[in-house]
Amino acid sequence: MSFKGMMDIVKQHFVVVIVLLMMYAGGLGFLWNGYEDLNAKKIKFLEEKASSLEAQSKREMDLQKREYNVQKAEDEIAKTVSEVKSEKSANAKSLALLQIQQGALSEAQTRKDAETKLQLLMSEFSALGVNLNSNPHCGTAEDLKRYNTARSKYYEIYSLAKTYSLDKKYSDFLFHNAQNVTSFGCSSKQKRG
């Protein structure tokens, strides 16, 4: 087959070839438009997906920041609570120590006051000049009154010394002035009233 033979065939089928080319061209145009439309939709979808992923990533970052801030705040609160408990414990210990010291000071002050009162009572007892071993009924009414006052002061001194554990310190006074003998008669040295 020669070129001229081919041209004859093409002339005979020219209209058919043109129609077929037009149909194929229209189909190809339709497919091309569909491809471009599909490609545009795909690009739009990918852009939306990217923006959605970006927004989700941003939300996750914000959430992580919030979680970090919350954790940090919780740690600070726990630290503060621990410090407050520690300070409260230290304050309780200080208060207990202060109360012990105050009690000791108060006890020491009370003992000192008792000792001062004891010395005053001993001075008053000595000033009466009464011997508790003598018979109180052998003297005058004034002697009996001084005897009873002295006896009362002695028992007050004795009780106070026992109460504040000062009886050993003042044992000499207590021993020498105690009523050891009860006399029933009057000696020649004692006056009768």
Q: What is the mean pLDDT of the chain?
A: 86
129 and 68 in a single domain? The answer is no
CA-CA-CA-CA torsion sign (123, 124, 129, 131): negative
Asked if residue 154 belongs to a domain, the reply is: yes
Domain boundary among 43, 64, 93: 93
23 and 83 in a single domain? The answer is yes
Instruction: Check pLDDT > 50 for residue 192.
Output: no
Domain count, the chain: 2
Containing H/E element for 149? helix 141-163
The confidence band for 165, taking pLDDT boundaries of 50, 70 and 90, is: confident
Q: Alpha-carbon distance 27 to 36, whole Å?
A: 14
Asked if residue 75 belongs to a domain, the reply is: yes
Asked if residue 183 belongs to a domain, the reply is: no
pLDDT tens-digit series, residues 136-150 = 777 888 988 998 999
Instruction: Check pLDDT > 80 for residue 151.
Output: yes
pLDDT tens-digit series, residues 86-141 = 999 988 888 888 888 887 778 888 888 989 999 999 999 899 888 888 877 778 88
140 and 85 in a single domain? The answer is no
Domain boundary among 62, 93, 124: 93
Q: What angle do CA 14, 16, 20 make, to 5 degrees?
A: 115
DSSP state of 192: P
- Largest Cα–Cα separation, the chain: 192
Asked if residue 1 belongs to a domain, the reply is: no
88 and 125 in a single domain? The answer is no
89 and 121 in a single domain? The answer is no
pTM over 0.85: no
Residue 46: which domain range? 17-93
